Amino acid sequence: MVDAADVAVVTGAAGGVGRMIAQALADRGRDLLLIDRLPGALDEARRRLEDGYDVHVGTRVCDLGSAEAVRTLGAELARDARVGALVNNAGAWTAGDQYPDAAPDAWWSAMTVNLLAPMLLTQSLWPTLASVGGAVVNVGSSGGTGDDAYASPEYGAAKAGLRRFTTSLGARSDVRVTAVVPGWIGLDRAVREWHALSPRARADAGGLVPPARVVDAVVRLIERGQPGEVVELEGDWVPEPRP
Ligand SMILES: NC(=O)c1ccc[n+]([C@@H]2O[C@H](COP(=O)([O-])OP(=O)(O)OC[C@H]3O[C@@H](n4cnc5c(N)ncnc54)[C@H](O)[C@@H]3O)[C@@H](O)[C@H]2O)c1
């Protein structure tokens, strides 16, 4: 059974890994608040979860790349006394050109969705989470680790910042702030892209991270993660050749 406080907030929950994380949490009996910028996909995710599990699922449409929208959402969440976990999963590259070719508004929005929104939502929910020994899981990326050149400087910088944000809070045990840092995740579209690579590009890319491994890590971090804990997940799964 789940405590009354055990609503989990999942951002970017209408698709990709976020939707799978929401499903795993519903499977464990947690009520959910799903946040995404896509109203149709969000509604469909809610319906499927409510059909499949005995949980309550709320939704909130929000563009987490908009500082104003994030502040409004943060103020709303601060009033919700039932939240026990926050998964800052939403993340995105700048659409089109990357820094320094992207316009400032475009890469600023990427910094917001990948770093500033997780910080603001974490802060907004801090008193609520602290009152129930709650947890935050930030979904980072291997693109934010190391010193190699990277195709999206703003994404790399934001994800590096998200990781350091997590570890910097390692001394705070009132809310357990943790992170999972995956390499290329083997979602269906990634498998298609991987198959389209040349053999040499595949060798350079290495393998993929099975999505279930990301989901399992997030669930474990919510339940038993230590403050400041970072789980790195390297891609070692090579999809079967297509028949
Ligand atoms: N896919 C990968 O290979 C990979 C690798 C490493 C890290 N990550 C990270 O994992 C997380 C999930 O990745 P994914 O591939 O499932 O993501 P995705 O691109 O499939 O998007 C997941 C959801 O986030 C939502 N979203 C995107 N931008 C948003 C915004 N501005 N406001 C609100 N919602 C928004 C999308 O609408 C979508 O429903 C992200 O933080 C991503 O950076 C992904």
Q: How confident is the model at residue 243 (pLDDT cuts 50, 70, 90)?
A: low
Residue 194 Cβ contacting ligand 1 at under 6 Å:
no
User: Strand, coil or helix: what is 59?
Assistant: strand
Is the CB of residue 182 below 6 angstroms from any atom belonging to ligand 1?
Answer: yes
Helix orientation angle between 67-77 and 117-131, rounded to the nearest 10 degrees: 0
227 lines ligand 1 (CB under 6 A): no
Indicate which atom in ligand 1 lies nearest the CA of residue 187: 1
> Looking at residue 240, what is its pLDDT?
76
Q: How many CB atoms lie within 10 A of CB 156?
A: 22
Q: How many beta carbons lie within 10 A of that of residue 59, not counting itself? A: 18
Answer yes or no: is the C-beta of 64 below 6 A from any ligand 1 atom: yes
Q: Which atom of ligand 1 is nearest to the CA of 112?
A: 31
For residues 153 and 110, the answer to whether their CB atoms sit within 8 Å is no
State the CATH architecture for 7-233: 3-Layer(aba) Sandwich (3.40)
**Nearest residue (CA) to ligand 1, atom 16:** 16
What percent of the chain is modeled with pLDDT above 70?
97
Would you place residue 19 in the very low, low, confident or very high pLDDT band (cuts 50, 70, 90)?
Answer: very high
Percent of the residues in the chain that have a pLDDT greater than 90, as a whole number: 90
CA distance 2 to 83: 12
Interhelix angle 211-224/16-27, nearest 10 degrees: 50
Closest ligand 1 atom to residue 17 Cα is 16
pLDDT, residue 124, reads 98
Residue 158 Cβ contacting ligand 1 at under 6 Å: no
Q: Tell me the CA–centroid distance for residue 18 and ligand 1, in Å.
A: 7
Predicted local distance difference test score (pLDDT) of residue 2: 43
pLDDT at 52 over 80: yes
Shortest CA distance to 137 belongs to which of 41, 243, 226? 226
Instruction: Inform me whether the pLDDT recorded for 1 exceeds 80.
Output: no
pLDDT for res 67? 97
DSSP for 67-113, written as a single string: HHHHHHHHHHHTT-TTEEEEEE----PPSSSPTTTS-HHHHHHHHII
Q: Tell me if residue 155 is catalytic.
A: yes
Please determine, for residue 57, whether its predicted confidence score (pLDDT) is greater than 90: yes
Identify residue 101 by its one-letter amino acid code.
Answer: D
Q: What is the pLDDT of residue 241?
A: 64
- Helix axis angle, 104-111 to 153-168, nearest 10°: 30
Picking from 48-52, 95-99, 207-211, 235-239, which range would have the lowest pLDDT averaged per residue?
235-239
Quick one: pLDDT band at residue 238, thresholds 50, 70, 90?
A: confident
Testing ligand 1's pocket by substitution, the residue of 17, 68, 197 carrying the most ligand atoms inside 8 A of its CB is 17
Mean pLDDT of 100-121: 98
53 lines ligand 1 (CB under 6 A): no
Domain ranges of the chain: 7-233
Query: Mean pLDDT throughout 69-74?
Result: 98
- Quick one: which atom of ligand 1 is closest to the CA of 184? 3
